[in-house]
Amino acid sequence: SQELEQSPQSLIVQEGKNLTINCTSSKTLYGLYWYKQKYGEGLIFLMMLQKGGEEKSHEKITAKLDEKKQQSSLHITASQPSHAGIYLCGADFRGANSKLTFGKGITLSVRP
């Protein structure tokens, strides 16, 4: 969707390196959801952000939503091969989780 842009389009990193991927909206978000998808599989929920300036962490993944609620970043510390996959951000533009608009996704490869 042009309402939601993800960057970079793809990323290859060496195992152990840190990385950051981004999700930028053309409109203010009510909520931002990060999912991970392995090829041919469903989406795995990672994190949900709803407040400006909010930051959440789980294991080695940290997601942030900026104060204006238009941009989110996902940071992975000390990447591992298990982090490889497609990272999708989904935007709630309406104030209810009933209809998410997704970006095209970022393909992450981690070289052992």
Helix then strand then coil, % of the chain, to nearest 5: 5, 55, 40
Q: Is the peptide bond before 8 cis (omega within 30 degrees of 0)?
A: yes
Q: Which listed residue (17, 27, 51, 104) binds other proteins by CB under 8 A?
A: 104
Three-state secondary structure call for residue 82: helix
Closest contact distance (angstroms) between CB of 103 and other proteins is 5
Query: Nearer to other proteins by C-beta: 17 or 104?
Result: 104
Query: Nearer to other proteins by C-beta: 17 or 58?
Result: 58
99 contributes a contact to other proteins by CB under 8 A: yes
* Rounded (10°) CA dihedral 79, 50, 54, 109: 10
Contact residues for other proteins, defined by CB under 8 A = 1, 4, 33, 35, 40-45, 48, 88, 90, 96-105
